[in-house]
Amino acid sequence: MNFRSIYSEVSTWFKQVFHMKNAWILLPGLIAVLFVYVVHHFNFFPGFNPKGGLEALAIWLVATILLVLLTKSFISRDPLMIYLAVLALVFLVRELDDTVLTVFSDTYRVQSKKLVDLILVGMVLWGLAWHEKIFASLNRFMMLKISIFGVFWTYLFSQIIARRAFRHVLPNERLLHVPLEETAETAAHLFFLFVALCCCYCIPNRNRGSKFRINPANQDSEKGPA
């Protein structure tokens, strides 16, 4: 495993993302926070339980993401699509944690939190092993590369809120930290779904021509002098 190559790819990714023109990737998380405060201030949806309602919605959103990415990965055989599909499956298992399932009149409570933690470690190791294949796919389309970073950031943002890192920053955080966390995570799911749908267009299918533009100057340089 070439750690120097991994470091180079990741550092290049960060340099490509951290520009003012890419600040839009922060919008899903920020809009989620603003939405919670607007709903709280104007007392929209009185009696609505954000934890139960958004958790139920999250299962369907992640299941849809998984279906989209699985379909695309089977069609394209693209390493990035395969990796994201498995990641979506892990997210679905996580969302099912503490969920009661009924099978043939028997009920089972899913306890998957510890399992997901172990699987995520495995996903990191798998990503390191596949870094050349994954970045080869990522590097073909810059907007997709930036968007995926935005998805990861939005999920991270929701987890930062969950750990109440903003308790001395956000007003009424003690009262609203659960709606803030759930809404930010829902925003991350929606962002992920949007990116998954974009992948269906951006990532070429197997044995078909790529939809990515090739710079004619690069083609000329590859051909060499006449």
Q: What pLDDT score was predicted for residue 206?
A: 72
CB 136 within 8 A of CB 11: no
Token match 């693209």: residue? 78
Q: What pLDDT score was predicted for residue 1?
A: 63
What are the residue ranges of helices labelled H in 46-112? 50-76, 79-95
Q: How far apart are CA 223 and CA 218, in angstroms?
A: 9
**For residue 151, how far is the Cα from the chain centroid?**
4
Q: What pLDDT score was predicted for residue 220?
A: 45
Q: Measure Cα distances from 50 to 151, 163, 178, 223 in Å.
A: 21, 18, 8, 59
Token match 């989620």: residue? 32
CA-nearest of 191, 119, 182 to 151 is 191
Domain ranges of the chain: 10-205
pLDDT tens sequence for the chain (226 residues): 677 888 888 898 989 999 999 999 999 999 999 999 998 888 877 666 667 788 889 999 999 999 999 999 999 999 999 999 999 999 998 888 767 666 666 676 767 777 888 888 899 999 989 989 999 988 888 999 999 999 999 999 999 999 989 988 899 888 898 999 999 999 999 999 999 999 888 888 775 444 444 344 444 444 454 4
Q: What pLDDT score was predicted for residue 106?
A: 66
